[in-house]
Amino acid sequence: MVDFRSTEFVMEEHELKKYLQEYKNGQKPWDVKNHVGLVKSMMNFIGSTDSELRDKLIYSTFFHLAIDNQLEHDLLSDLLDYSLSDDMLFKGIGENGTDTVFTRAFSSLVIAVILYKDNKDDFLSRDAVYKTKDHLIHYINTENDLRGFVPVKGWAHSIAHVADAFDELILNKKMEQKDLFDMLPTLWEKILVSDSVYVHGEDERMITPILAMLEKGLDLVEIEHLLKGIPAELKRRKEQIEEENYWFLEANCKTFLKSFYVKISSREELISLRRDIELCLSEL
């Protein structure tokens, strides 16, 4: 088992960036002998405020290594366990406007990639997948930093990234239909936020796992019920929050509903949802 908390074989940040740049440009091969050390180094700096290192080099390299079968299943299993830890997915949880969001948000992406690989190769245990479900639900419930693009520092996009992880989780064969009822309310609640306005495509990313639930067998009635309840829910919350926050909430709902409508516009089997969305928008 790989000890990701150990600093043994971990490179300095500038060394890692230089190596990954050269690897990406084809100037260096992947260092098989220091394979684990490189992955540990990447995870150590995945929350860097250097957007090129964090996004274009570390995440991009990890994604391609995983997809190209260069990361062993045992290593990916260890990596999933570490990504779900307080040092990664829950680092600084509850904070808002701090740099710890980059570690949390990009840990979500690592989790999404590992789940994607498990959907292809079936190497994770059922317990590991269910642990992931529980941790992702807890994480999205407690994530307060909803920023998308951060000037100078690049993408945080915590909600979009965790939506990607939920999408892969829902598609996992170890997930049962009953598990969808644990995830749907959690995802839906993160649409109805009033602290800020989503402006970087979060609504579209949240729709993807909801549609995946329908593909998994979720009864259409469950979504219809939630859609029909939005006007009354907004009316209830309007009495509890500041006026500006209410307008944030309404803007998020309208954006989500319009994106949802467009996303399902060509799917005849979802015509009842389109009608519900039309009615919902007319009442807001």
Is 91 among the domain residues?
yes
pLDDT band, residue 7 (cuts 50/70/90): confident
pLDDT at res. 32: 87
How big is the CA angle at 108 (ends 84 and 93), to the nearest 5 degrees? 65
pLDDT at 184: 97
For residue 68, being part of any structural domain is answered with yes
- In a domain? residue 140: yes
- Domain membership of residue 131 as a residue range: 13-175
Contact predicate 137/95, CB 8 Å: no
Domain assignment of residue 263, yes or no? no
Give the pLDDT of residue 9.
87
Report the predicted TM-score, pTM, of the whole model to 2 decimal places. Answer: 0.96
Domains of the chain: total: 1
Residue 118 domain-assigned (yes or no): yes
Query: Does the residue 203 lie in any domain?
Result: no
- Cα–Cα distance for residue pair 107/98, rounded to 1 Å: 16
Tens digits of residue pLDDT in 34-55: 899 999 999 999 999 999 999 9
Q: Is 281 a member of any domain?
A: no
pLDDT of residue 14: 97
> Could you tell me the two tokens for 139?
């994480």
- Which of 153, 71, 158, 159 shows the shortest CA–CA distance to 118? 71
Neighbours of 75 (CB within 10 A): 18
In a domain, 229, yes or no: no
Q: What is the pLDDT of residues 194-243, one digit of tens each?
A: 999 999 999 999 999 999 999 999 999 999 999 999 999 999 999 999 99
